Amino acid sequence: MKYVADLQHVREITIAGDADDGPMLVTAADGVFRGIRFRELAILRVTGESRAFLVQAFNSNRFFAWCERVFFKTPYLHGDVRVGARAVSAPGVFTAEMREPRTPSSVGRDGWHGEVHLPGGHYFVAKLEGMTERYRVVERDRFELEHPALRTFTPREWLIRADARHAKSKTYRAPAA
């Protein structure tokens, strides 16, 4: 697979959980593309083992958000996204904070590779990988879920990659069903 963007040394926090319509992921990343730092937050509905649907995404760089919409047909908006060591925020959309340090339930190389489907019948192929620390969500963790797609979202696990690889293909038209 040829990727149009293949970023190294990305700091990533993903919160996996469940909603009425199935498994969901909220992924926040802090990276550099062509020398420009950006942060993004993506809300995805998992639709299969290696398939997901990108519900909405936000990028801290207004130009990158525009490029995503125009060239990749993705549902990106510009937004104030912040990614900390154990916290993520996109005010008015999503805020998560691991309130206190804890021992991970597992540590090891892990990732995801598959198709990310988009509104309008398009998709791209994505790859996220790296050393992953997994933590169970506990009652003390803080979550503010303000996006309509997260109305019934119940967080269950943190996945933290301090040094990840994020790769993305060009956008393709999905074959007719």
115-161: per-residue pLDDT in tens?
Answer: 999 999 999 999 999 999 999 999 999 999 999 999 999 999 999 99
Strands 36-48 and 51-59: antiparallel
Reported pTM = 0.95
What's the pLDDT score for residue 175?
84
Two tokens at 3?
A: 């990727």
Query: pLDDT-based confidence at 177, cuts 50/70/90?
Result: low
HSE at residue 16, side-chain half, CA atoms within 13 A, is 13
Region 51-66: mean pLDDT is 97
